[in-house]
Amino acid sequence: MKILMVTAEAVPFAKTGGLADAVSALSIELEKLGHDVRVIMPRYYRISRDKLRLIDGPMCVHCGNDEVWTAVYTTNLTGGKNIPVYFIDHEQSFGRDGIYGTHQDPDFGDNPRRFSILGHSVFQLCRKLGWYPDIIHAHDWSAALAPVLLKFNERWKAEFSKTASVFTIHNLGYQGNYSKQNYPLFGLDWNNYYASGFEDYDNINFMKAGLVSSDMLTTVSPTYAQEIQRSEYGFRMDGILRSRCGDLEGILNGVDTVVWNPSKDKKIPVQYSASTIEKKLQNKLALQERMGLEVNPSVPLFGIITRLADQKGVAELFAPTYGCAYRMCTQMNIQLVALGSGESWCENEMNVLQSKLPNFRAFIGYNDELSHLIEAGSDFFLMPSRYEPCGLNQMYSLLYGTLPIVRRTGGLADTVQNYEEATGKGTGFIFDDLTPNSIFDTAGWAVYAWYNKPAHIKAMRVRGMKQKFGWDISAQKYEDVYKRALQKIGF
């Protein structure tokens, strides 16, 4: 099959979260299955043109009455054999820092135009290359215009008559809501304003349009696929998702085990595997030293790596007077290390806490190397997410013998098995309610097991390290979804 991935981010070029990892890893795995996979994304300022090859000739993209001239650059995706990545180069729209926005301005005002250019470029690029995909696979709201244009403007043209669309929800919490004054940019007739799904309480909603207009829908874990059909998790899209439940599949993301493998990880001081798990301790001591904590093998060390966003349960951890991190560090004999960046109140609060507590250390910012050390050096990993479409860190933790403490939601529920004291079974610790007390009590339960059930802790670690989270399994499931999408349009 010929598959075109449409995305705002892909590693190693641009990343804000798990979406970037998923798009690249899935592309590589689909190529291994014999498919012709290509990727289209914007060229942001940080992606240097020097390492890319310019495709001859400018490309004209019509965003409604707006005529936009872009250049197209290309290179091969790292890790794949021959997966061309096409970068849409439009200085005015993408030649700036930030993918969707910046720290100060999280949502650029011209995002409808920026991602309209991406959506329209999909079809112009294919024409330029003379290459027409069987599947257009769009990822998240920023790519949602592509399936909409396919359905309403392009499929009746011969070259796209056999092309089906798949839309993957990586995070329903980000939908791309803007004024309807932007609608003319999409080059869609006003008659299609409702039918396309763009209309949303008299505004436009990219995500909704993708959900309504794509042939098949997927999201990144089976439990999240169920949860988003309920109002609690549906971000107002639950009705649409219920109406399309027959076309919606939950496929768990995999882990890039070339990068996240404790026996080969060059970013950690000492490599280890399930059979040499005692060496993990050296990484704990290195982490304690690096973060300025007491170097002590016996005190349980908790790690956190997260975007500091409400989704991740950071209020329940760090909100002044409300969060439980302070109580955890003062009432339990533990150490806590947190790596993250995001909402400023939370960054400030973490800094206040580390100035008060000898056993809490925070690193504010994005630091890939430290994230590896935290995964390898921690005994427990805290992930109290309000919702979690898939989540990567709990899987990294399992593979690194670090026991996850998670809320039972989305991909966390699909990947972690709860500890059973009677049998010693399980791979982590699970709680249901997102409250500071639940986090506190579950952390306390883990500390209890640490001090009183060391054999269980070791067995759980080894069990976790033997879990398989390969992309090969997921890619086969996507292959089935592509076949179903083609069947839906009669092929």
340 binds ligand ADP (CB under 6 A): yes
Which neighbouring-strand residues pair with 73? 54, 87
405 binds ligand ADP (CB under 6 A): no
Least separation in angstroms between CB 232 and ligand ADP: 18
**Cα torsion at 108, 38, 247, 243 (round to 10°)?**
20
397 binds ligand ADP (CB under 6 A): no
Q: What is the helix (H) or strand (E) element at residue 361, kind and residue range?
A: strand 360-364
Least separation in angstroms between CB 1 and ligand ADP: 26
- CA triple 287-290-292, angle to 5 deg: 105
Residue with tokens 């956190």: 304
Residue with tokens 């998670």: 406
368 binds ligand ADP (CB under 6 A): yes
Q: Is 183 or 363 the residue whose CB approaches ligand ADP more closely?
A: 363
- Binding segment for ligand ADP among 38-46, 66-74, 150-158, 305-313 (CB under 6 A)? 305-313
- Binding segment for ligand ADP among 125-133, 302-310, 430-438, 468-476 (CB under 6 A)? 302-310
CA-nearest of 122, 143, 142 to 133 is: 122
Total of residues contacting ligand ADP (CB under 6 A) = 16
Q: What is the residue type of 222?
A: P
Could you tell me the two tokens for 102?
């910046």
CA distance 207 to 237: 9
Q: Is 286 or 489 the residue whose CB approaches ligand ADP more closely?
A: 286
Least separation in angstroms between CB 452 and ligand ADP: 31
262 binds ligand ADP (CB under 6 A): no
User: Of residues 131, 193, 366, 445, which one binds ligand ADP by CB under 6 A?
Assistant: 366
User: Of residues 75, 271, 367, 438, which one binds ligand ADP by CB under 6 A?
Assistant: 367
Least separation in angstroms between CB 174 and ligand ADP: 10
369 binds ligand ADP (CB under 6 A): no
CA-nearest of 375, 399, 120, 389 to 256 is: 399
Least separation in angstroms between CB 238 and ligand ADP: 20
Q: Is 241 or 392 the residue whose CB approaches ligand ADP more closely?
A: 392
Least separation in angstroms between CB 53 and ligand ADP: 29
269 binds ligand ADP (CB under 6 A): no
- Binding segment for ligand ADP among 39-47, 64-72, 231-239, 365-373 (CB under 6 A)? 365-373
Q: Is 259 or 277 the residue whose CB approaches ligand ADP more closely?
A: 259
339 binds ligand ADP (CB under 6 A): yes
Q: Is 125 or 308 the residue whose CB approaches ligand ADP more closely?
A: 308
Least separation in angstroms between CB 447 and ligand ADP: 24
φ, ψ of residue 230 in degrees (nearest 5): -110, 150
* DSSP-based three-state secondary structure for 157: coil
Q: Are 30 and 3 in contact (CB under 8 A)?
A: yes
CA distance 9 to 396: 21
341 binds ligand ADP (CB under 6 A): yes
Query: What letters, b where the CB count within 10 A reaches 16 and e where it falls short, cover 140-170?
Result: bbbbbbbbbbbbbbbbeeeebeebbbbbbbb
17 binds ligand ADP (CB under 6 A): yes
Least separation in angstroms between CB 314 and ligand ADP: 12
Q: Is 176 or 391 the residue whose CB approaches ligand ADP more closely?
A: 391
Could you tell me the two tokens for 325?
């991190």
Q: What is the residue type of 373?
A: L
Q: What is the residue type of 43?
A: R
404 binds ligand ADP (CB under 6 A): no
- Binding segment for ligand ADP among 26-34, 98-106, 241-249, 361-369 (CB under 6 A)? 361-369
- Binding segment for ligand ADP among 28-36, 109-117, 201-209, 338-346 (CB under 6 A)? 338-346
Q: Is 172 or 334 the residue whose CB approaches ligand ADP more closely?
A: 172
Site string for ligand ADP, 376-395 (x = CB under 6 A): --------------xxxx--
DSSP of 17-57, one letter per residue? Answer: SHHHHHHHHHHHHHHHTT-EEEEEEE--TTS-GGGSEEEEE
267 binds ligand ADP (CB under 6 A): no
User: Of residues 307, 408, 458, 484, which one binds ligand ADP by CB under 6 A?
Assistant: 307
Least separation in angstroms between CB 49 and ligand ADP: 26
CA distance 416 to 406: 8
229 binds ligand ADP (CB under 6 A): no
Least separation in angstroms between CB 154 and ligand ADP: 30
Q: Is 147 or 303 the residue whose CB approaches ligand ADP more closely?
A: 303
Where on the chain is the footprint of ligand ADP (CB under 6 A)? 17-18, 305-307, 339-341, 366-368, 371, 390-393
